[in-house]
A and B are shown apart, each in its own frame.
Chain A
């Protein structure tokens, strides 16, 4: 079974530029998550999708971050414009559904963003 795919793996941009990350979840997984992991911290949920609807985006900085999941499969996370404090690893994860609190989340390798 193929895992969660993310691209690019690394990205370096200057502040105020825009950047986009792509995620392809495991086939058949209805729920998709985007996390931000700042160096030395645990991952923080940015947004959670159930199919192509948003379940939780309470910690997404909506003035600069946006995410979409068209057709309930792939997802894109965008930052526009980027700030220095956005430097982090952006992790995508997927699970079969959000119906059970013990659903296993499967994580991709992440995209390491450096903002200069």
Chain B
């Protein structure tokens, strides 16, 4: 079965530093991968998605992710963290159950220090 594993339930970075949030997937077929962000007391918002068109995917708010088949990874990065990036981030994979069910990782909470 397809699933995703997010390494690190909490990540802390300084403002201006590189953000790296890790996600590994397990899939026997080419996956459909997503990153979502969730701010406190809000629903999830799509950051970016991998659609097999390009391995480097650019999303909103300066985030990007690179699909690496050899490593079964889809890590999320941002060159320079901003205080407003503090939130919970979820990696997700979509699998075909007749309606493309989305399976979410456990999430990584990002803290940004001034």
Residues of A at under 8 Å CB distance from B? 4, 31, 33, 40-45, 48, 50, 55-56, 58, 91, 93, 98, 100-105, 107-110
Which A residues lie within 8 Å of B90 (CB)? 42-43
A9's nearest neighbour on chain B, judged by CB, is B41
B46 touches A45 (CB 8 A): no
Q: Is the CB of A109 within 8 A of B106?
A: no
Q: Are B43 and A48 in contact (CB under 8 A)?
A: no
Is B84 in the interface zone, CB < 8 Å from A?
Answer: no
Instruction: Find out whether the CB atom of B99 lies under 8 angstroms from the CB atom of A42.
Output: no
State the main secondary structure of chain A at its contact with B.
loop
In the complex the two chains form, is A58's CB within 8 Å of B97's CB?
A: yes
List 10 tightest A-B contacts by C-beta distance, closest first: A42-B104, A107-B43, A55-B99, A101-B32, A98-B99, A107-B44, A101-B100, A102-B51, A101-B94, A109-B43
On whether the beta carbons of B101 and A40 are closer than 8 Å, the reply is no
Q: Report B18 CB to chain A, min CB distance, Å.
A: 24
The answer to whether B43 and A101 have CB atoms under 8 Å apart is: no
Measured in the bound complex, the distance between the Cα atoms of B43 and A4 in whole Å is 9
B106 surroundings in chain A (CB, below 8 A): 40-42
Using Cβ atoms and an 8 Å threshold, which residues of chain A touch B96? 101
- Enumerate chain A residues within 8 angstroms of B46, measured Cβ to Cβ: 104-105
Residues of A within 8 A of B99 (CB): 31, 48, 50, 55-56, 98
CA distance A24 to B105 in the complex (A): 26
The listed residue (B41, B97, B102, B105) touching A105 by CB distance below 8 A is: B102
B94, chain A: closest CB distance, angstroms? 5
State the Cβ distance, A31 to closest chain B Cβ, in Å. Answer: 8
Q: Identify the closest chain B residue to A49 (Cβ).
A: B99
21 of the cross-chain contacts (CB-CB < 8 Å) are A4-B43, A41-B107, A42-B90, A42-B92, A42-B104, A42-B105, A44-B104, A45-B101, A48-B101, A50-B99, A56-B101, A91-B43, A100-B100, A102-B49, A104-B46, A104-B49, A105-B102, A107-B44, A107-B45, A110-B42, A110-B43
